[in-house]
Amino acid sequence: MLAAVLSRLLRMVVVMFGISVITFLIFFATPSSDPAARIAGKNAAQETIEAVRKDFGLDRPLYVQYGLMMKRLFVTRDLTSFANRGQQIVPAVAAAAPATLSLVSGAAVLWMLGGILTGITAAAWRGRWPDKLLMGISMMAVAMPVFWVGEMVNLITQNRLHDTWAFSWVPALGYTPFSEDPGLWFRSMVFPWLTLAFLYIGLYGRMLRTGIIETYQEDFIRTARAKGLTGRKVLLKHATRSAIIPIVIMFGMDFGVLVGGAAVLTEVVFGINGVGRLTYQALKVLDLPMIMATVLYASFFVVIANAVVDLLCLLIDPRMRRA
């Protein structure tokens, strides 16, 4: 077991090393990304740029720069941003992480429940109106951009109907840490959760429905029916449990990616300053240290999510336990 964990960790390190090197190289291959000129400021004199270049060690060979950056990111943990000079990268990411985690975890609960419910309901009423209705809605959910949905939600809850009884409880946009005010935290997260979950409910609902319907073609479903099990039992216990495995795998990946920063659109629309927004801002101003940190952070979560998914699959599907 220990060996397994160690090997996982080793693989993670290798993956993250590769990603960091690629990020680093892409950055320096981008035209007009000279960090010295950016740090020095607009229309800086050439002497100033050279001074900055020396000061930041940007005149040293790339591998030295890479090494220093990694050291300052992981060992001394005092790596600072190129764009927001003095902004320490590690605390910034650490501060942004809880917001993203709040957003994604809450949404994940909603979308797993919603998606599974949608999928099962649609599969159970396959071809009839509940199915058609649900699939229509989920098609919409998948098709509508999160950003747009978020803006619409804001338009209603923050603008048009903000002062009515229905939405006056919605606080101003932004994130309040749970530790500060759990009530406010919850109220401010409700619509971000719903918005982010909406897309995934649609996605997962459709996938699960298809999965269940396909599972019904399986021989073991015929066996279950031949045994005399009720339709409900066949659906819930036999068909859904098999069909849910790909959903779990997808969930793990989605969750990892979102926690790693892919929820950027939802974060921006709802003023939640999470990791996604941090990444987005860093990319916008070509802030290499922040890009590096957020990219590594994201890859870390994806790798972790991968491991958790593997573990979950072992739990759900005994076939994978074969050693």
Nearer to another protein, 63 or 220 (CB): 220
3-state secondary structure of 137: helix
User: Is residue 297 a contact partner of residue 311, using CB atoms and an 8 Å limit?
Assistant: no
Residue 143 beta carbon to another protein: minimum distance, rounded to whole angstroms: 21
**Nearest distance from C-beta of residue 210 to another protein, angstroms:** 17
Question: Identity (one letter) of the amino acid at 153?
Answer: V
DSSP letters, 256-299, are HHIIIIITHHHHHHTT---HHHHHHHHHHTT-HHHHHHHHHHHH
Minimum CB distance to another protein smaller for 60 or for 126: 126
The residue among 109 and 315 lying less far from another protein, judged by its C-beta, is 315
Residue pair 166/241 in contact (Cβ under 8 Å)? The answer is no
CB neighbourhood size of 87 (10 A): 15
Q: Which residue's CB is nearer to another protein, number 205 or number 274?
A: 274
DSSP string, 147-203: HHHHHHHHIIIIIITTTSTTTTTPPPSS---TTT-HHHHHHHHHHHHHHHHHHHHHH
Tell me which long-range contacts 32-36 makes (C-beta under 8 A, separation of at least 24). 33/286, 35/82, 35/286, 35/288
Q: How far is the CB of 81 from another protein (least distance, A)?
A: 7
In the complex, the smallest distance separating the C-beta of residue 202 from another protein, rounded to whole angstroms, is 23
Burial class (CB in 10 A: 0-12, 13-18, 19+), 316: middle
Minimum Å gap between C-beta 272 and another protein is 7
Nearer to another protein, 105 or 273 (CB): 273
**Minimum CB distance to another protein smaller for 279 or for 299:** 279
- Whole-angstrom distance, CA of residue 220 vs CA of residue 210: 17
- Pick the closest to residue 270 from 153, 156, 177 (CA basis): 153
The least CB distance from residue 61 to another protein, in Å, is 20
Task: CB nearer to another protein: give 79 or 201.
Answer: 79
Nearest approach, Cβ of residue 87 and another protein (Å): 5
